A and B are shown apart, each in its own frame.
Chain A
Amino acid sequence: MKRGTIPFWVFAALLPAAAYGLPILGMNEYYFYISYIVLQYVVLATAWNILGGYAGYVNFGTGAFFGAGAYAALVVMLLFEAPLVVQIAVAALVGALMGLGAGLLTLRLKGIFFSIATIAVAIIIETFVLNWRFVGGATGVQIIRGPVTYGFETHTRMLFFVMSVLAVASLVIARYIETSWLGRGLQALRDAEVAAECSGVPTLRLKLIACAVSGALMAAAGAPLPLYSSFVEPHSVFSLNYSVMALSMAVIGGMARWWGPALGAVLIASSQQFAAFASPEFHLLIVGLLLIFVVIAAPGGLVGVIQWVGNWRVSRKEINRSASVVK
């Protein structure tokens, strides 16, 4: 068994358990509210990293996948009064199909051209929703929530638990991809796609898988939004902010490891929730400056910094040991 496997699975089991058990401790309702957002960004940043970090295809369409998930959930809610689990499953399916579509784009578009195409996809989907009267068009839809289900006292607590499960699921998937043949293949095509193709790496299949998984996770993160915010309208749901934040969190946290984007998301989304009450625009400025600083000074992000500190401590120990042997 690989090092770190047991602690990871203990953490994966503990996070939803804690999310379920925290209300018993009498934690203030507001903290569930903001923790939901933090976990939502954990899913988005982790999902973004599967394509952007491992495969090197920078996706600016996070908002499109997230919004599509929210609207897919809304549609099945309005049409069939489907429960949340079904809403998330449908949203993930829609996200995966959209991801496959984006994956096919990679046949023709690479680098910055792929990124621009993802922005175009976001605009197309937003325009489609703007003109779809069933989901409220540009005016949006107010959602009157039914009774709380699954034994929770409030919707916020239930949705916090659901998002913790989605966060763990995204981390499990990201970790699996990173440590399996998928991750190795994606890294190969990120470093030199033609060379990887010549070496027998099935690049198109890998890119399609990465796009579909990334899209499905992003859309799944959007699925609980109608219940969370009670109001869905296209301008805020398809906001470019989601794309910018997911990218920033992955870059600042570090794209090399599965836990980097999650770390970035926890730090930035938490600070956003607290700083937002002082000045949301000021927080955006800070994140922007931090992004520039990390790109220049620590290209590996926080993961790189932590690994560098770890390596430095190991090398110090070795030097000290060698010195004592010499003495």
Chain B
Amino acid sequence: MTNVSKRTFLHGMGLGLGALVLPQRVWSQESPIKVGTSMALSGPLASGGRQSQLALQMWAEDVNARGGLLGRKVEIVAYDDQGSPSQSPGIFSKLVDLDKVDLLIAPYGTVPAAAIMPFAKERRLLMIGHIGYQINSKAKHDMWFNNSPWSDAESWVGGFFRLGKSAGVKKVAFLASDQEFAQNILAGAKSLAKSAGFESVYEQSYPPSTVDFSAMIRAIRAAAPDMVFVGSYPADSTAIIRAVNEIGVGPNVKLFGGAMVGLQYASIMQSLGSQLNGVVNYTTYVPEKTMAFPGIKDFLDRFAKRAPAANVETLGYYVAPFAYASAQILERAVTATKSLKHDVLADYLRKNEISTLVGPIRWGADGEWANPRVVMVQFRDIKDGDLEQFRQEGKQVILEPQQFKTGNLIPFQQARRK
């Protein structure tokens, strides 16, 4: 062992301390890069909003641990829009005009995001969408890039009707909430059913405040369809599944579900338990081997550990990875272009495929995914009250699209008897 003089030791100490302080000093010289957004942190959409907030915070921590973006620290500026379109325009004005954020992610959900599109278009702002449907169809903003794996209604529920056709369906029943998303999806679903040659034997739109679906389920049963398409929101989805469990929808039904929002949330999945068996519904991600995108398992494991402290669900499959992905989209564009100018970043995103936690994304001219990949899953062998079972493969079997398929359709009534 060599002798170390007092002078050398002090030099070493100085250099060591300097190295520790150096990253901090670099960040403090330049202001942080602010990423602004709004989400429902209270109100009926708060579950997804809080998941998004945690995922974005995790992204910021990950980026900062890697040395920041363009050598600058990253900071998330997020406000509670309560999921309301009356809040989001004011919040985005504050983010842009007062907080002077550098980059923007659209509000979580369709309705609050739709309200800010004219503002984004007028100001020429790059906007990364976050779980919204056809938000840009009217505004036609050329700097909109959605993080959600769908484009039009066909991309969303096309798989459901393809499954119906292959199962020999002839008669279809429609049940949908009278709200933005459900009505848009219903219009697309009816068009798909028509082109598939299905006969519509029942169609009902119900007010969003409906709590009792027994009369509708009885009417569906009386109409004796082969498949039932449902476009519903979380509270309705739960009530509909419970009503089906109590009353039944008839022996002919081979497919039930389609576009039921809420059946992707851990709390609802846990509460419905075995009543979900046989239901075929859309989702964005399930832990099947065909969806093992690079980095997603690590993210979900870390998310599950931090979720209890943030008071959010521990699964986080439906929303959280996509929130993280929206920030990754910005990160990739900024890193590649070394710019924060919105038109430069938008130009880059138009021309390049971006690798994210939820798979590679390339956008079409409308800012929606060029290759949508909404998956239709069938709930199988679900037991009551066990949340952890949803982490296993085989509980949400992917039936569509083909590149992610992990199983074949079991007719609804048969799957429920198992």
Q: Does A37 contact B (CB under 8 A)?
A: yes
Interface positions of B from 172 to 196, Cβ below 8 Å from A: 177-180, 183-184
Pairwise interchain contact A231-B79, C-beta atoms closer than 8 A: no
Pairwise interchain contact B178-A233, C-beta atoms closer than 8 A: no
B49-57, B87-95, B289-297, B301-309 - interface stretch: B87-95
- In the complex, A279→B82 CA distance in Å? 10
A137-B183, A280-B80 known; A142+B98 contact, CB < 8 A: no
Q: Shortest distance in angstroms between B141's beta carbon and chain A's nearest beta carbon?
A: 10
Pairwise interchain contact B86-A229, C-beta atoms closer than 8 A: yes
The one of A144, A228, A281 in contact with B42, judged by C-beta atoms closer than 8 angstroms, is A281
- In the complex, A155→B98 CA distance in Å? 18
Pairwise interchain contact B85-A236, C-beta atoms closer than 8 A: yes
Q: Does B283 contact A (CB under 8 A)?
A: no
Interface positions of A from 130 to 166, Cβ below 8 Å from B: 130-131, 137-140, 142-145, 154-156
Q: Does A179 contact B (CB under 8 A)?
A: no
Q: Shortest distance in angstroms between B302's beta carbon and chain A's nearest beta carbon?
A: 27
Residues of B near A281 (CB, < 8 A) are: 42
Q: Does A169 contact B (CB under 8 A)?
A: no
Pairwise interchain contact B111-A279, C-beta atoms closer than 8 A: no
Q: Does A28 contact B (CB under 8 A)?
A: yes
Residue of A142, A145, A154, A273 contacting most chain B CB atoms (<10 Å) = A142
Pairwise interchain contact A138-B179, C-beta atoms closer than 8 A: yes
Pairwise interchain contact A230-B180, C-beta atoms closer than 8 A: no
Pairwise interchain contact B139-A231, C-beta atoms closer than 8 A: no
Pairwise interchain contact A30-B207, C-beta atoms closer than 8 A: no
The one of B91, B97, B138 in contact with A142, judged by C-beta atoms closer than 8 angstroms, is B138
Q: Does A80 contact B (CB under 8 A)?
A: no
Pairwise interchain contact A30-B117, C-beta atoms closer than 8 A: no
Q: Does B388 contact A (CB under 8 A)?
A: no
Pairwise interchain contact A30-B42, C-beta atoms closer than 8 A: no
Pairwise interchain contact A28-B86, C-beta atoms closer than 8 A: no
Pairwise interchain contact A139-B139, C-beta atoms closer than 8 A: no
Interface positions of A from 37 to 80, Cβ below 8 Å from B: 37
Interface size of A by CB at 8 A reads: 35
Interface positions of B from 81 to 121, Cβ below 8 Å from A: 82, 84-87, 89-91, 93-94, 96-98, 111, 114-119, 121
- In the complex, A156→B118 CA distance in Å? 12
A143-B118, A144-B118 known; A138+B97 contact, CB < 8 A: no
Residues of B near A237 (CB, < 8 A) are: 86
Q: Shortest distance in angstroms between A153's beta carbon and chain B's nearest beta carbon?
A: 11
Q: Shortest distance in angstroms between B372's beta carbon and chain A's nearest beta carbon?
A: 21
Pairwise interchain contact A138-B118, C-beta atoms closer than 8 A: no
- In the complex, A131→B207 CA distance in Å? 9
A156-B93, A236-B84, A280-B42 known; A142+B178 contact, CB < 8 A: no
Q: Does B364 contact A (CB under 8 A)?
A: no
- For this complex, 16 residue pairs linking A to B, each with C-beta atoms less than 8 Å apart, are A30-B97, A33-B94, A137-B183, A138-B179, A138-B207, A142-B115, A142-B118, A142-B138, A142-B139, A230-B118, A230-B119, A231-B111, A239-B86, A276-B87, A279-B80, A280-B82
Q: Does B208 contact A (CB under 8 A)?
A: yes
Residues of A near B139 (CB, < 8 A) are: 142, 144
The one of A33, A142, A144, A231 in contact with B93, judged by C-beta atoms closer than 8 angstroms, is A33
Pairwise interchain contact A231-B90, C-beta atoms closer than 8 A: no
Residues of B near A138 (CB, < 8 A) are: 177-180, 183, 207-208
The 9 A-B residue pairs with the shortest CB-CB distance in the complex, in nearest-first order: A231-B115, A230-B118, A30-B97, A139-B180, A138-B178, A236-B86, A33-B93, A29-B97, A30-B98
Residues of B near A276 (CB, < 8 A) are: 80, 87
Residues of B near A137 (CB, < 8 A) are: 178, 183
Inter-chain contact count A-B, CB under 8 Å? 94
Where chain B touches its partner, the secondary structure class is helix
Residues of A near B121 (CB, < 8 A) are: 144
Q: Does B122 contact A (CB under 8 A)?
A: yes
Pairwise interchain contact A140-B180, C-beta atoms closer than 8 A: yes
Q: Shortest distance in angstroms between A66's beta carbon and chain B's nearest beta carbon?
A: 11
Residues of A near B138 (CB, < 8 A) are: 142, 144
Pairwise interchain contact B115-A229, C-beta atoms closer than 8 A: yes
Pairwise interchain contact A230-B184, C-beta atoms closer than 8 A: no
Residues of A near B117 (CB, < 8 A) are: 142, 230
- In the complex, A237→B115 CA distance in Å? 13
Closest to A282 in B: B42
- In the complex, A239→B183 CA distance in Å? 22
Residues of A near B178 (CB, < 8 A) are: 130-131, 137-139
Q: Does A240 contact B (CB under 8 A)?
A: no
Pairwise interchain contact A34-B207, C-beta atoms closer than 8 A: no
- In the complex, A161→B358 CA distance in Å? 46
Closest to B77 in A: A277
Q: Shortest distance in angstroms between B115's beta carbon and chain A's nearest beta carbon?
A: 4
Q: Shortest distance in angstroms between A200's beta carbon and chain B's nearest beta carbon?
A: 46
Pairwise interchain contact B80-A145, C-beta atoms closer than 8 A: no
Residues of B near A155 (CB, < 8 A) are: 122
Q: Mark B324-358, 1 if CB is under 8 A from A, else 0.
A: 00000000000000000000000000000000000
Residues of A near B180 (CB, < 8 A) are: 138-140, 233
Closest to B95 in A: A30
Interface positions of A from 204 to 259, Cβ below 8 Å from B: 228-231, 233, 235-237, 239
The one of B89, B94, B114 in contact with A140, judged by C-beta atoms closer than 8 angstroms, is B114
